[in-house]
Chain A
Amino acid sequence: MIKEKRIALRNIGNYNPGSIDEYLKLGGYKNVERALKINPDEIIETIIKSNLRGRGGAGFPTGLKLKFTTQAFGDQKYVICNADEGEPGTFKDRIIMEMDPHLLIEGMIISAYSIGASKAFIYIRGEYTESIDSMKFALNQASEKGFVGDNIFNSGFSLDIEIKLGAGSYLCGEELALLESLEGKRGYPRIKPPFPAEKGLLGMPTLINNVETFAHIPYIIEKGADHYKSLGTEKSSGTKIFTISGDVKRPGYYETEMGVTLRQLIYEFAGGIKDNKKFYAAILGGAAGTFVDESVLDTSMGYETLKDKGAVLGSGAIMVMSEGRSVFDMTHSILKFFMHESCGKCVPCRIGTVQLLQIMDEAKNNNKDKKEILNKLLNESEYMAATSLCPLGQSPILPIKSIKQFFENQF
């Protein structure tokens, strides 16, 4: 029987998130104290060596991001925590913020110190009211204890952290749209390059990481890069939180080493398929993710291994569908979602997302040949992927292509 290995979730349930004193008894903020005695460059080297990759979905090496931000020129550097969790089927960041807010703060302080940033923001989606309250409370407590603010642990390093709210835009989880939103504008994506590490918030070098990514950093400081790298697989080191939902007996959040198989996640952690039914499909990585069939059940869950199979790891969301569910209906729902969330700035996405849905609606009403419909969808989404400005317009091709690959005859 496979076991959980908790890093980002390691304190969950071990302390009352409203009490910083209980957190301190667990050794809280010790890793910040430890880190502030280390040379910042050494911290960055450690993170690079650990092979930690961004847990928000894109999987970019975190250490490199730190390095690029450090090397960029700017009077002021910023750290931003992307807590605009909105990918359907994903709720890992919410769990961390509600149940272990101090771990996130620790990860942010260490990161800010390593790149020389004195100002940080946590951008939380507006609907996450409990996360917002929890983070506000924890931040106040951390400030009162002197862990956030001036001259932290007498190191001479100071950091101010502020909470900013989103207001119902999925797109603002995309880092450049998030920057626009944080600057008090409509959440439109920017053209990249320049990347945020070079020119981010207010044109200054900015480090943007997902909540879960920050939550790994204190652990790496504590245990060292070699230990962290020994977890997981060679190319996908460490652990990952998987949020499993849909037709399983025990839906929920599970953190385990990368390299676990989808079968283990669904049948061991989540207890298997509900109502004695058979597994039919799973959607990995959310709406901007991929459908897979049972041929992927024994694939190791890692960035590259899934890519080889035509799937993605993404945010770690796993939406499970049992026999009797319809891939067509699910696709319809996903395409409706993209249409609603398209910001309208660039033409291919604004028009493309509408056309994709029209193709689906036509198919529904006219009972057209499904294979022809699928080819139309694929063609359209390929144009969008090639010409859209940001990941939203580039995403519909992911589920559509995966249907072509795995469910062409059942669409």
Chain B
Amino acid sequence: MDKNSIISKFKPDNDNLLNILHELQNTNPNNYLSTDDLKLVAKYLNTTYSSVYGVVKYYSMFSLKPRGKYVIRVCKSPLCHMIDGNGLIEHIKQNIGIGLGETTNDHVFSVEASECIGHCDEAPVIMINDKVYKGLDSEKIKEIFQGIKSNQ
């Protein structure tokens, strides 16, 4: 679907801004918002590029840089941190070779820190795109990435 038709699914009201940005980002294979996207949205909502840019920069789920096809969010909430320390980040690094804030060269994976994902009873947890993976250890992390890589 082209970007104009994605945007025009929403009414041109400011209160739709975050929903529109989510939709644009989710339909981008590199999970990010480009300068052109922001300009397009600004025009549609009859506002300025700078105000849209300001909003995008405020919210941690939006990215202005191309990310991997799979965005991995590692829960760094106090509870997950207590249970796991930095274990998950280490295990992820062993499997895909990147740490927090990095993207693989082939743009398949990005790793980010996230605040509490709300699955504290099954800590530690991560999210990969829309899906939550719970009760993780090194073995489970390995399986998850083997699964993703074999589907590539």
Residues of A that sit less than 8 Å from B by CB? 85-91, 94, 126-130, 164-170, 181-187, 243-246, 251-253, 283, 287, 317, 319, 321, 325, 329-330, 333-334, 337, 340-341, 343
Contacts and interface: CB of A to CB of B under 8 A. Distances in A.
Interface stretch (B14-22, B94-102, B103-111): B14-22
Contacts of B15: 164, 182-184
A333 B73 contact: no
A370 B135 CA distance: 34
Interface string B110-135: 00001111111111000100111000
A208 to B, nearest CB: 15
A265 to B, nearest CB: 13
Nearest to A169: B59
Interface in B34-80: 45, 51, 54-55, 58-62, 73, 76-79
B6 interface: no
B21 A167 contact: yes
A184 B22 contact: no
B61 A127 contact: yes
Given A126-B61, A329-B82, A337 B77 contact: yes
8 contacts: A86-B118, A88-B120, A91-B121, A167-B60, A169-B60, A333-B76, A337-B76, A341-B115
B93 interface: no
Contacts of A244: 121
A329 B83 CA distance: 12
A184 B16 contact: yes
Given A86-B118, A164-B15, 20 more contacts: A90-B120, A126-B22, A127-B117, A127-B127, A164-B18, A165-B19, A166-B59, A167-B61, A169-B59, A243-B121, A244-B121, A245-B121, A246-B79, A246-B83, A246-B120, A246-B123, A287-B77, A319-B79, A333-B76, A340-B115
Contact of B82 (A166, A181, A182, A333): A333
Interface size band for B: 35 or more
A245 B114 contact: no
Contact of A183 (B14, B62, B73): B14
Interface of B: 13-19, 21-22, 45, 51, 54-55, 58-62, 73, 76-79, 81-83, 114-123, 127, 130-132
B23 to A, nearest CB: 9
A91 B78 contact: no
Contacts of B16: 184
A287 B19 CA distance: 28
Contacts of B73: 127
Nearest to A128: B118
B16 to A, nearest CB: 7
A-B pairs, top 8 by smallest CB distance, nearest first, are: A184-B17, A167-B59, A184-B14, A245-B120, A168-B61, A168-B60, A251-B121, A186-B58
Contacts of B83: 246
A166 B18 contact: yes
Nearest to B16: A184
A252 B135 CA distance: 13
Nearest to B113: A340
Contacts of B61: 126-127, 167-168
B10 to A, nearest CB: 11
A334 B55 CA distance: 26
A243 B120 contact: yes
A88 B18 contact: no
Contact of A94 (B17, B55, B118, B131): B118
B26 to A, nearest CB: 10
Nearest to A248: B121
A86 B61 CA distance: 14
B88 to A, nearest CB: 14
Nearest to B54: A186
A95 to B, nearest CB: 9
B129 to A, nearest CB: 8
Contact of B81 (A126, A128, A169, A333): A333
Contact of A165 (B22, B45, B58, B118): B22
A153 B32 CA distance: 44
A392 to B, nearest CB: 13
Contact of A184 (B45, B123, B131): B45
Contacts of A169: 58-60
A182 B59 CA distance: 13
Contacts of A89: 77-79, 116, 120
Contacts of B14: 183-185
Q: Which of A167, A321, A334 has the most chain B CB atoms inside 10 A of its CB?
A: A167
